[in-house]
Structure 1
Amino acid sequence: MTLSILDLAPIPSGHTAGDALRNTIDLAQRAERSGYRRYWLAEHHFAPGVAGSAPAVLIALVTAATSTIRVGSGAVQLGHQTPLSVVEQFGLIDALYPGRVDLGIGRSGQRRAEPAKAVPEPKEARVVDGLLIPAPFDLSRLAKHPHLAHYATLLQQPGAQTPDFAGQIDDVLAFLAGTHDAHAVPGEGADVEVWILGSSGGQSAQVAGERGLPFAANYHVSPSSVLEAVEGYRAAFKPSDVLPDPYVIVSADVVVADDEATAHELGKGYDLWVRGIRTGAGAMPYPTPEEADAHVWTAADRGLVKDRVDTRFVGSPAQVAEGLRVLRRVTGADELLVTTITHRHEDRVRSFELLAEAWNRP
């Protein structure tokens, strides 16, 4: 199947991190039975509502609890670790579960190889062949939040300086291939798929393309730049021993229920959850529909979350499957990576099951 899952291990309000992690393992087992191709775990820190702070640990637990589905990271943030430590962690998992592990790598916490734009170039929202491409969201205010600078110091040793992303990726590949001047054990020779994740056509897309690696583009978090990301990757692509042609996954946020009204009811709380992220407070414990209804919104608050809310696919199985087919057609994606958050675990499981059924239906 050309659908895979991204799981943030969300913590619903009134629940614990342990509840969220048990839900993740249960969801992975059910996803395997539904035929999903991959099950990826995200890396988030300092978020009261997300339990996925150590993807390698969680990947090991999920892989042990499943049999055939590929399990991986979406993504390990390489700015917070060394290439050696990452290869050893994933090599250890592969040693027990060979041929099932995806090492997805992101650039968060990295020195940027291209100049940062304080404010996105002014663009209007547009519809491209049926797909909404919203106006860019201005991240400059969030980037200046005092908590972020403090958190960055907590994720690294004092005085540590992160090398350039491209060099770190080359080290990862060399450790896996056994061509580095040091040997990663376990890790060297591991049957691990290396992926690069990116939100724009910048360095992540360039590194993935130039090294002939598969690339995951981010529609669910950065929908305004998804076309730029996949175009940048494909333009930079050079065939490799791994891939003769470009291979792209595109992510999407979805909620599926038996009918559209129910899906929208179950999806309540998403805008409030995104607001917490965009204000720098971090992902909150995911609210109930009643808690979401109690929040009083301002126009400024709505502006913070509009691009994310407008590009979420919410509805009946047929509606969401059709929306995802549009996303796949417009981006040229070889595979889609879907994520779903609802307050009740049962509703999230049911959403993925309904989507799998609809996607596989002729």
Structure 2
Amino acid sequence: MASNKPAPEAPSRFHGDNGDYGTGYGTGYGAGHTGEFAPDFRSDTDNGEAERGWSEWNPTEETVRPVRGRHRVAKQRTGLARSSTVLGVGVIAAVGAGGMATAQGKPPVSISVPDAITENLPDAKSLPGVGSLFSDGSEADKAEAAATAPLTTAGITTAEAEQGTTDAGEALRARILQQAEQQQDAAAAEAKAAEEKAAAEQAAAEAKKQQDAAEAKAAAEKKKAEEAAKKKAEAVRLAKLAASYSLPTFSYTITSTYGQAGSMWSSGHHTGLDFAAPTGTPIKAVHSGTITSAGLAGSYGYRTVLKLEDGTEVWFCHQSSIGVSVGQKVTTGEVIGRVGATGNVTGPHLHLEVHTADGSGIDPMSWFRSKGLTP
């Protein structure tokens, strides 16, 4: 490591080994004459070198003459340190300007080191990581090792070195361009992926819309078909019922309906359905069943009650005559009596009532329609 060096001795004719130093200083300088210490003098101890003017000595001045002997080594090493600093600054400047400078074309620099220092230095080949930089071969091998030193390939990757790249600046520029291309490719790929995703989403939405429309259409068609099938089944059922049920008479006129209000009825409203027809018009059984009542029933006149298999009762009232008896089983369309005007009436007609199994009265018109018949 560099340190402050001792100031070199200025030229003088006085030396400590001849005993003249104290005398000369006392006689020459104290007397004030210009004999030995005059501003201008010629040294007779420096082998006849040129005359020098007297001035204050500055150890940092570049004008200090190098002296012979060991002190020349210090001067040389100081100059080498300054040269190394300049070289380092140059490398940094080269990196900032656009890439790391290369030194492959420069010849190796020879540095002289005093023998006293060289003898005490360790063998460079024995140092870890340093011995591989030296070669025992020819001058060509040494030149090649110097040309391939780490400084010459600074900033160059192993892959680039294998490809023959030697200029660090060009290698950096190539890497920057490659990175820019990769970024452009990545941006293009991302944009393409976004477009493909948007197209896929739009296609999926359109497909879903079409699928929903198709499903809605299929559902509507299915519902329509189900309704048609249901209607057809109901028609078949009603046809079968119509075959098993029958209206109570023919050549009639509906004069009063169920629930009609009026003072003529004791309950305040009509409880059945009136079929007006001439006296003696045949009355038929509306369905197969059993006769549970047959005879005079007050304001109903002559009444016949037919109980069906499901417990429903059908009342036939105001008959002029009864043609069946209690307990008799009858079939659909069989004559069970005749139209008349017995009981509380204003003219000949058949008053027909329908009661459910629990005894509640219902509208005979709706009941006939549920069986496929329209009075």
Instruction: Judge same fold: TM > 0.5, yes or no.
Output: no
Higher relative contact order (CA 8 A, sep 6+): 1
The TM-score range, normalised by the shorter chain, is: under 0.3
